[in-house]
Amino acid sequence: MRFVRRGSVLVLLLGLLWSFPAWGEIPNFHEVEKGFFRGAQPDEAAIQGLKDLGFRTIVCLRDDEKVIQWEKKTVEGKGMRFISIPLNWKR
């Protein structure tokens, strides 16, 4: 199933990345498939770093409303696209 196209970030993150000097800023950040990336919750500096590298979209899979609202405000404030797909990981 394709729900995110190349050039997006799945944060869990998807996007384009030629080199990423700040690997340590996003725990568990890895390329899943060419042009598609995932990682743990980014902080504001990591989101800026992704933007600087050309990432355009961040997809949040968290189901915590506070986290979703913070990340949405931060991502959109940097001129990037934010998508929330809340998943309940506790089931």
Could you tell me where the DSSP H helices lie in the chain?
Answer: 44-52, 65-77
| Banded pLDDT at 25 (limits 50, 70, 90) | confident
pTM summary value: 0.70
Evaluate if residue 91 carries a pLDDT over 70.
no
Nearest Cα residue to 10 out of 65, 55, 69: 55
Distance separating alpha carbons of residues 44 and 70, to the nearest angstrom: 10
